Amino acid sequence: MKLHMQILIALGLGIKRNGHIFLGLIAGIVLGIVMHAFHSAHETSSVYNIIYGVLNFIGQAFIRLIQMVIIPLVFSAIVIGISSIGDNKQLGAFGIKMVTYYTIISIAAVVIGTTLALAIHPGDGVQSFISEKSAAATQQIVSQAIADQKGHLSEIFINLIPANPMEALATGEMIPIIIFIMIFAIALAKVGEINRPVVSFFESVFAATMKVTDGIMYLAAPGIFALTATAISSFGLSVFTSISKYFLAILVGFAIQLFIVYPILMKVFSKVPVRLFFAAIAEAMMVGFGTASSSATLPLVIACCEKRGISHKVCSFVLPLGVTLNFDATAMFQVIAVLFLTQAYGITVEPLQILQIAVLAIVASSTCAGIPGGGIITIALVLNGLGLTPTQMVEGFAFLFAVDRIVDMFRTMLNITSDAVVTAVIADNENELNYDMLTNVESYKDII
């Protein structure tokens, strides 16, 4: 059977198991479309605002609950994971494999994105539509974001080292947090037996946060329903038809990544059964789609991977790092979006500049935050120096913002999937994948 069919079946199986979440997703999309149509017809009616307010409350409550467990979960997972790896050789092997696989899929993503953008030419003839859609209010926010990104690349990197780890923990900046925890955990592994009390403390923290995650997942269906409905209602689907080529390029690229690139990586570098593995992470994929936040989905990806056979050692090392640094779908989106804008404004891009866009997209995406719209902010880094005037930059940027939410949902789903795929491949390579658990139907009853 063709690989993409197998994946679709696997997702179908995953969805069947979690029918309630899938139902929430579909019902949210339908309600969102109805609300948008209603709002366009009766702009002054307060009914829309009341329903939107209630749904927004439910959706935000769900996201905040998951966010609540991220820091204790990441902290405890990495400390236990690295201290259980112990020897430097294995840590090095995990690290090298991780960088290699993430690089392969990121390069594939930007190559596919560039090819599609150059073949489809999504930006031709849409300049006036861009001007019309980029609201003045958004332009102000965007100008600030562009100004913030202007800093030299080295400054962006230096800021990733947390001068004050407590401040990073308090503000939830994921990359500095991860850097601090990893250094702390490696040191802890090196001090020997004396680390026992701290490691057992974090083992308890980890177990408790996983329990909390299980509980929060009971709210996944209403949460995803509310999030999807509010996202679609403020966006509508009419924009799809106005810039259909833009969405076409992005969605075709995402489909190639999901149905071809990830399976090839699994087939070439491991013996992980593609169909089964996609079924194993279907819940996480749906929650990634609904929340548009990789960080918020992290607890669930860890749960799916661990409960279905990947060792804690690998999950706790690779997943938190992947979720904070690997954004292959975001990189692909950034390449397409930047080429879209240059095409819209009639700017010719030389081959060398295309290479520059592709490389910068990988860098910019990996410094982005795993939150809704995180990938839009760092696009400024890629857009700079391509010849757009400051007004065009702000306008184009504000436009991308305005039509981003649905694209964001898809790319988050992919970002999460690639994190899990790379984790599975590394686990297979390092004999850290329990195939009995992966194939045992019992392990699918848990979680949600």
Residue 404 Cβ vs ligand ASP, minimum distance, rounded to whole Å: 8
When the beta carbons of 185 and 371 are compared against ligand ASP, the nearer one is 371
When the beta carbons of 274 and 413 are compared against ligand ASP, the nearer one is 413
Q: Which of positions 413-432 make contact with ligand ASP (CB under 6 A)?
A: 415
What length does the chain have? 448
When the beta carbons of 257 and 412 are compared against ligand ASP, the nearer one is 412
Residue 157 Cβ vs ligand ASP, minimum distance, rounded to whole Å: 19
When the beta carbons of 206 and 327 are compared against ligand ASP, the nearer one is 327
Residue 413 Cβ vs ligand ASP, minimum distance, rounded to whole Å: 9
Q: Is 320 in the site for ligand ASP (CB under 6 A)?
A: no
When the beta carbons of 217 and 364 are compared against ligand ASP, the nearer one is 364
The owner of tokens 């090095």 is 92
When the beta carbons of 283 and 408 are compared against ligand ASP, the nearer one is 408
When the beta carbons of 172 and 373 are compared against ligand ASP, the nearer one is 373
* Whole-number Å distance between alpha carbons of 392 and 389: 5
* Whole-number Å distance between alpha carbons of 432 and 300: 19
Helix 294-307 with 196-216: angle, nearest 10 deg: 100
> H or E stretch including 117?
helix 88-120
Q: Which stretch binds ligand ASP (CB under 6 A): 182-190, 266-274, 389-397, 407-415?
A: 407-415
CB 123 within 8 A of CB 342: yes
* Whole-number Å distance between alpha carbons of 425 and 263: 11
Q: Which of positions 36-75 make contact with ligand ASP (CB under 6 A)?
A: none
Residue 379 Cβ vs ligand ASP, minimum distance, rounded to whole Å: 9
The owner of tokens 């259980």 is 84
* Whole-number Å distance between alpha carbons of 322 and 4: 24
Residue 411 Cβ vs ligand ASP, minimum distance, rounded to whole Å: 5
* Whole-number Å distance between alpha carbons of 201 and 196: 8
* Whole-number Å distance between alpha carbons of 294 and 301: 9
Residue 28 Cβ vs ligand ASP, minimum distance, rounded to whole Å: 17
Q: Which of positions 329-388 make contact with ligand ASP (CB under 6 A)?
A: 330, 368, 370-376
CB 380 within 8 A of CB 336: no
Residue 365 Cβ vs ligand ASP, minimum distance, rounded to whole Å: 7
> H or E stretch including 131?
helix 127-133
Dihedrals phi, psi of 310, to nearest 5 degrees:
-85, 135
What is the DSSP secondary structure assignment for residue 235, as one 8-state letter?
T
Q: Which stretch binds ligand ASP (CB under 6 A): 182-190, 311-319, 408-416, 420-428?
A: 408-416
When the beta carbons of 213 and 311 are compared against ligand ASP, the nearer one is 213
Site string for ligand ASP, 72-111 (x = CB under 6 A): ----------------------------------------
Q: Is 310 helix (H, G, I), strand (E, B) or coil?
A: strand
Residue 417 Cβ vs ligand ASP, minimum distance, rounded to whole Å: 11
* Whole-number Å distance between alpha carbons of 269 and 96: 14
Residues ≥6 apart with Cβ < 8 Å to 167: none
Q: Which of positions 241-300 make contact with ligand ASP (CB under 6 A)?
A: 292-294
When the beta carbons of 290 and 309 are compared against ligand ASP, the nearer one is 290
Residue 296 Cβ vs ligand ASP, minimum distance, rounded to whole Å: 8
Alpha-carbon dihedral sign for residues 370, 201, 167, 177: negative
What is the DSSP secondary structure assignment for residue 236, as one 8-state letter?
-
CB 32 within 8 A of CB 261: no
Total site size for ligand ASP, rule CB under 6 A? 17
Residue 58 Cβ vs ligand ASP, minimum distance, rounded to whole Å: 20
Of these, 10, 48, 411, 423, which contacts ligand ASP (CB under 6 A)? 411
* Whole-number Å distance between alpha carbons of 2 and 267: 13
Name the residues that contact ligand ASP, by CB under 6 A. Answer: 292-294, 327, 330, 368, 370-376, 408, 411-412, 415
